[in-house]
Amino acid sequence: MQLAQIFVLSAAFASPLLAAPRTQNPPLFNGKDLTGWTSADLSIWNVEEGAIVGGSEKRVPHNVFLWSPVEVEDFYLLVDVKLTPDNRNAGIQIRSKVHPTNKKEALGYQADVGAGVWGCLYHESGRQKLDWRGMAKDAVKAGEWNRYEILAVGDRIWGAINGKLSFAIREPAGERQGKIALQVHSGLPQVVRYKTLKLIHNPEVKLAGLGEKQLHAAAVLLNTDQPNVEAALKNKKTSGLRPRTEKPTVNAEPGTNWPRRIAAVDGGSKGETWAKRNFDDRSWKQMNLPVHWENAGLPDYDGVVWFRRTIDVPAAMAKGEALLSLGAIDDMDVTWVNGARVGGYEKAGAHFTPRIYKLPAGSLKPGKNLVAVRVMDHGHGGGLAATHGKMQLTAGAQAISLSGAWRYRPGASLAQLMASPGSTKATAPRPEPFKGKFELRESDVIAFAGGTGMVKQLESGYLEALLTGATRGPVYFRDIAWQADTVYRQQRPRNFGTHLDLLNRINATVVIASFGQMEALDGATRLPQFVAAYEQLLVQFAQRTPRIVLISPYPFEKTGDPNLPDLHARNGDVAAYAEAIRQLAKRRGYQFVDCAALKPAGLTSDGLQPTADGQRAWAEWVASRLLGRKVQFKDSQFGEMHSVIQRKNLLWRRHWRPTNWSFLYGNRQHVPSSHDHRPGKPRWFPEEINAIIPFIEQCEEEIRQYKVNPR
């Protein structure tokens, strides 16, 4: 299975672990000979004293597998294994098959055997390290017989060594069936013995003294909360990438305490001043409701807006209880009648929920009554749009329409709210700024921000490879760029969060930002607006770290194609934007990389978009100026590491920005396809997204094994 297939997220959850009839297969091994077993090299296999023995007194030139004839799906397997000497390597293949192109190799899961790898789960010829925690390393008896137990049911696989749980994973897109095989690893002379070989189909879900609930919990913990333990043991530091552990509901946005943020900075909320009946709102503007405010005087506005309306209520309607209906409000609200709070939705996600608030007797007065609504929206359309429900006050058989003119006034903007104290705080000490020189330190987390150009550079992986090769100790790179991002607008799905939210979650210590390429097409007359918007974006970045690098746009290329616009003519504007960014970086104390002198020279496909060679040239230019010396990407140095970087970045993108976000934390969390249908079970989709984290960390562990230095 290709890596790209691992996390194709379907709308249907894996079938539950139902208790099918348990059957013990006829013995895999008859204890006498290898009848039914096959191998590409049977000469190294034989039977001694009731055990299958593999090995050679000479160096083994390649991996050799001994294949059983039995297909397995859900099963329990017990094998006693002895490896001599113990510092060699072997393994037990499960749900595997002969490699389709290299018939000497296997493709599939392997329970590893050998010093340092006993009890680890590997994916032979495929995804490689899966669960490398080594939980049972203390249970291993070096040079002696060790009892290996493997349990595979549905998309979960567990292993145990001498009665101690050693691996536990859930892999929804992994292999569900295949054969069992025994391995002798290539390398120095060795002997590995396998005996007992007890197989049960459709087993009970229990292992190492743990029941079904405990085993399921162990698998979930691995995929959502546990770091790459091998990396942690070797390096003592990791990127600290945290999964989204919040459990959002339809009305919740993970990690953001909106009431706390609003109370901290919104002027109208202090003492509920703008909700009071006697507050003078005559200077406020008017808006005809229902409508999204972006279409009625507040384009591109996100944050708090207050609405007030005075209505005349007949004495008959004011006598008893009443219902205040406001229709659906996008996104959150708190509502007052005559200064008394009557209801509200203060968690994100209720933008389709009609507001119907019950007013107790005495809430209304004969004559004039004041309705005040504080609306908070953090993306897309906002306001009292009544996309669902009506706007009216009803009591008994009478109703008063609330559509029409309301007075309104903006409160705290989204930028102000995100700068206020909230639940998403930096979790690491604030780093020191660059002191006149770019440098990366051990365990730095570098976030790349920008638009389409930066997205494509992260896909190419060239800049990351060059910086990785030039840095001592582990560093971590994270893409937070998005196609079509500009300094003016960074469109994100509902409940996605801001740049600052993500920077905090990934523990970013450095931000490398590339903006201005597309903005330069607006011309130099827009430079004041560009600088002001860039400053606002940098405010978010600076709340996380002062170690920021700003990269200028590069010149457009003249293509000579009459069907394409001559962007080359706009290079005067490119130079002006580059100079503005240089001044901005100097004023704020950031590092600056000037790409205005870079000559594309046939390295773009259309005058704007770099080709693969163009991406490499851009990365070499940027890295050389950051590092203060000329560096070049050479396949002989970077080839294998570069491939792992590209694989890691693909996994990271699937984790942090999955396509069907609305099912994850958006407005479709409530639909059946996002839930495990068994009572009491969690929503499977967030778990599946968080299960990508160990694979990202495994790639990072592989990247650290390459020792390269760009020249």
Predicted confidence at residue 476, as pLDDT, reads: 93
Question: Distances in Å between the alpha carbon of 154 and those of 17, 173, 203, 603, 623?
Answer: 6, 10, 11, 49, 47
Predicted confidence at residue 149, as pLDDT, reads: 97
- CA nearest to 147, candidates 193, 187, 178, 94: 193
CA angle 329, 334, 340 (to 5 degrees): 135
Only one residue has tokens 């080359």, namely 568
- CA nearest to 166, candidates 201, 136, 141: 136
- CA nearest to 199, candidates 29, 61, 407: 29
Q: Is the peptide bond before 266 cis (omega within 30 degrees of 0)?
A: no
CA angle 641, 647, 648 (to 5 degrees): 90
Q: Dihedral sign for Cα 400, 401, 404, 408, please.
A: positive
Question: Distances in Å between the alpha carbon of 507 and those of 3, 155, 305, 431, 477?
Answer: 27, 31, 32, 11, 11
Q: How far apart are CA 158 and CA 165, in angstroms?
A: 7
What one-character DSSP code corresponds to residue 42?
Answer: G
The first and second tokens of residue 706, run together, are: 């390459």
DSSP notation for 518-570: TGGGG-GGGHHHHHHHHHHHHHHHHHH-S-EEEE----------TTS--GGGG
Q: How far apart are CA 63 and CA 78, in angstroms?
A: 23
Q: How far apart are CA 493 and CA 27, in angstroms?
A: 55
What does the radius of gyration of the chain's CA atoms come to, in whole angstroms?
A: 31
Query: Please, which residues have CB within 8 angstroms of residue 488's CB and are 6 or more apart in sequence?
Result: 519, 529, 533
pLDDT less than 50: residues of the chain:
1-20, 220-238, 245-255, 422-428
Query: Please, which residues have CB within 8 angstroms of residue 624's CB and are 6 or more apart in sequence?
Result: 630, 631
CA 111 to chain centre: 28
Pairing of the two strands 340-345 and 332-337? antiparallel
Q: Is 425 helix (H, G, I), strand (E, B) or coil?
A: coil
Q: How far apart are CA 377 and CA 350, in angstroms?
A: 11
Q: How far apart are CA 553 and CA 203, in angstroms?
A: 61
Q: How far apart are CA 351 and CA 349, in angstroms?
A: 6
**618: burial class by Cβ within 10 Å (0-12, 13-18, 19+)?**
buried
- CA nearest to 186, candidates 351, 325, 56, 346: 56
**164: burial class by Cβ within 10 Å (0-12, 13-18, 19+)?**
middle
CA angle 256, 260, 261 (to 5 degrees): 70
Measured distance between the N- and C-terminal CA atoms of the chain, rounded to whole angstroms: 36
> Which residue type does 327 have?
G
> Which residue type does 511 have?
V
426 neighbors 501 (Cβ within 8 angstroms): no
The first and second tokens of residue 20, run together, are: 């099918």
Q: How far apart are CA 630 and CA 632, in angstroms?
A: 7
Query: Please, which residues have CB within 8 angstroms of residue 418's CB and are 6 or more apart in sequence?
Result: 261, 498, 500, 501, 540
Angle of helix 452-460 versus helix 462-469 axis, rounded to 10? 60
Predicted confidence at residue 26, as pLDDT, reads: 65
Query: Please, which residues have CB within 8 angstroms of residue 560's CB and are 6 or more apart in sequence?
Result: none
- CA nearest to 225, candidates 168, 155, 153, 152: 168
The pTM of the whole model exceeds 0.75: no
Predicted confidence at residue 434, as pLDDT, reads: 85
Pairing of the two strands 367-377 and 383-384? unpaired
Domains and CATH numbers, the chain: 18-226 (2.60.120.560), 258-418 (2.60.120.260), 445-645 (3.40.50.1110)
The first and second tokens of residue 709, run together, are: 């230095």
Q: How far apart are CA 262 and CA 278, in angstroms?
A: 22
- CA nearest to 93, candidates 174, 180, 152: 180
The first and second tokens of residue 397, run together, are: 């058989």
Q: Average pLDDT of the chain?
A: 85
118-155 exposure pattern, b = at least 16 Cβ within 10 A, e = fewer: bbbbbbbbbbbbbbbbbbbbebbeeeeebebbbbbbbb
CA angle 80, 112, 649 (to 5 degrees): 160
Question: Distances in Å between the alpha carbon of 179 and those of 68, 91, 98, 257, 274?
Answer: 7, 14, 9, 51, 70
Predicted confidence at residue 706, as pLDDT, reads: 77
597 neighbors 567 (Cβ within 8 angstroms): no
Q: How far apart are CA 660 and CA 686, in angstroms?
A: 11
Predicted confidence at residue 683, as pLDDT, reads: 75
- Greatest pairwise CA separation for the chain in angstroms: 103
559-578 exposure pattern, b = at least 16 Cβ within 10 A, e = fewer: beeeeeeebeebbebbbbbb
